Chains A and B, each alone.
Chain A
Amino acid sequence: MTSPFWRATWAVAAKDLKIEWRTKTAFASSIVFAILVLAVMYFARDPTVVSSLDIAPGALWVTFTFAAMLGLNRAFLLEKENSALDGVLLSPIPPTAIFAGKLLGNLVFVGVVELVSVPLFVLFYDLPILRQIPALAGVIAMATLAFVAVGTLLSSMVVRTRFAELMLPILLLPFLIPPIVGAVQLTSRILAGRPLSDLVGWLKLLGSFDIIFVILCFLLFEATLEE
């Protein structure tokens, strides 16, 4: 892991996380938002009509994606003040390392929000989750990679516009359909204890989306930078 690409990626990600740790605003907002969404969705159903298992997966993924979208823009916004990105671009690091670093930073950010949300989620919906933790963790990881990768790429464009906070969801939502629908289906089936054969179709969809879009985002990143 000592190639220049990885060193640069680490440097960018570490710097981003250090800055986020200092200010903590985006992070706090996301967590509070996640808790609120979870609570609202929980109370907004009629428990005699809708069972936990039916609504829980949808609630979980709506929570994750909306809370995450609050935080995705910060990665590039912090480069905007003082034109800090210019300084990074002047350095010899490969531009794709910038994307990798931002992606890593965003993944950690969203990962922490998810880590806080899942126990709350289990608590609220009283879910039998213990045996399925590895499978669930896998699905959460795959779906998160999908929407954070696309979200990071889109945010590098959207931060230049005036309504960045609004533009990101507008552009990102269509890209969420395959991974989030897949994630909800998989979460629902895993919680219901369904066999692997029931999961394969959606797993393939999620997996191929991850591979194709992560590569595509890396390839397209430079086009969002140059002037």
Chain B
Amino acid sequence: MTRRDRAVALARRGQILTGLALVGLAGVYVRALMFTPIERTQGPAQKIFYVHAPVAWAALLAFSIAGILSLIYLWIRDRKLDTIAAASAEVGIAFSVAMLTTGPIWGKPIWGTWWSWDARLTSTLFIFLLFVGYLVLRGAITDPETRARYSAVIGIMALVLVPFIHMTVYLFRTLHPEPVLMKPSEPSLPGVMLVTLLCSMAVFTTLYVSFLMQRYALSVLRDVREEEAANAIP
């Protein structure tokens, strides 16, 4: 099989996986809306949590993988790593946008404001901006070698920056604590809710993998086309 055939096959498998994940997502919606109890203090608005938290997790996963693969690229220099890292960053950006929109939608009925500098939301916003910068830099460099190397440098710096951002937001927060009463709820969930959450996380992780597969396949196909164009020059 040629490189192109392999890429097309990968894309196809990715599409199937996306289809499955979307079915799973529908199932999660049904379960969350009809079979999971309504949370006492927050009311029905809390249900957005079953989308918001997993999508945040998927974004974080996507960015971590992008950062780690960048680090390994600088060591091993296999350009495939850079291609996957870039694909992962793009998918991460998509998930971040979802997270940054569901957050305020959840927050408005509960906090009364669209944005509250909540620790996690704020950290994610900055990480999102960091990776937008990563993609902007990639767009500005034409040579693939240089692009991979520079992406790796930014990726590594980003990885090291993330804990500092968390630390900063945490320190800042101890001055301006979140609304104590209506805090968006967390782990200590009763069984039924926990199961819904876990199902949703599995669905979104699958969605991440399927998007990654398709985005990577697209990069490979573009590369194949460029190679053919370069070889066609006499």
Contacts and interface: CB of A to CB of B under 8 A. Distances in A.
A touches B in complex, CB < 8 A: yes
The winner among A170, A173, A177, A216 for most chain B CB atoms within 10 A is A177
B167 A205 contact: yes
B156 A216 contact: yes
A220 B156 contact: yes
B172 interface: yes
A175 B127 CA distance: 10
B168 A178 contact: yes
Contact of A161 (B127, B141, B167): B141
Interface in A28-81: none
B150 A220 contact: no
B157 A167 contact: no
Interface in B21-68: none
B126 interface: yes
A15 B76 CA distance: 36
Given A205-B168, A216-B160, A161 B137 contact: yes
A178 B130 CA distance: 13
Range class of the B interface residue count: 20 to 34
B153 A174 contact: no
B164 A205 contact: yes
Contacts, number: 77
* A interface: dominant SS: helix
Contacts of B156: 216, 220
Interface in A133-172: 150, 153, 157-158, 160-163, 167, 170-171
A177 B168 contact: yes
A171 B168 contact: no
B126 A162 contact: no
Contact of A181 (B132, B141, B161, B172): B172
Interface string B130-159: 101100110011000110011011101110
A173 B137 CA distance: 14
A171 B137 contact: yes
* B interface: dominant SS: helix
A227 B146 contact: yes
B141 A160 contact: yes
B168 A174 contact: no
A182 interface: yes
A157 B153 contact: yes
A201 interface: yes
B140 A162 contact: yes
Nearest to A150: B157
A125 interface: no
Contacts of A174: 126-127, 129-130, 133, 158, 161, 165
Contact of A213 (B136, B160, B165): B160
Contact of B137 (A157, A175, A177, A220): A157
B69 to A, nearest CB: 15
A139 to B, nearest CB: 15
Contacts of B165: 174, 177-178
B182 interface: no
Contacts of A226: 149
A85 B137 CA distance: 22
A223 B129 contact: no
B74 interface: yes
Nearest to A219: B156
Nearest to B175: A185
B152 to A, nearest CB: 7
Given A157-B137, A205-B167, A224 B150 contact: yes
Given A178-B167, A205-B168, A224-B153, 6 more contacts: A158-B137, A167-B136, A171-B154, A174-B129, A220-B153, A220-B156
30 contacts: A158-B137, A160-B141, A160-B146, A161-B137, A163-B140, A171-B137, A173-B133, A174-B127, A174-B129, A174-B130, A174-B158, A175-B161, A177-B126, A177-B164, A178-B161, A178-B164, A178-B165, A178-B168, A182-B168, A201-B171, A202-B171, A205-B164, A205-B167, A205-B168, A212-B160, A216-B157, A223-B149, A223-B153, A224-B153, A227-B145
Which 4 pairs, one residue from A and one from B, show the smallest C-beta to C-beta distance? A161-B140, A174-B130, A178-B164, A171-B133
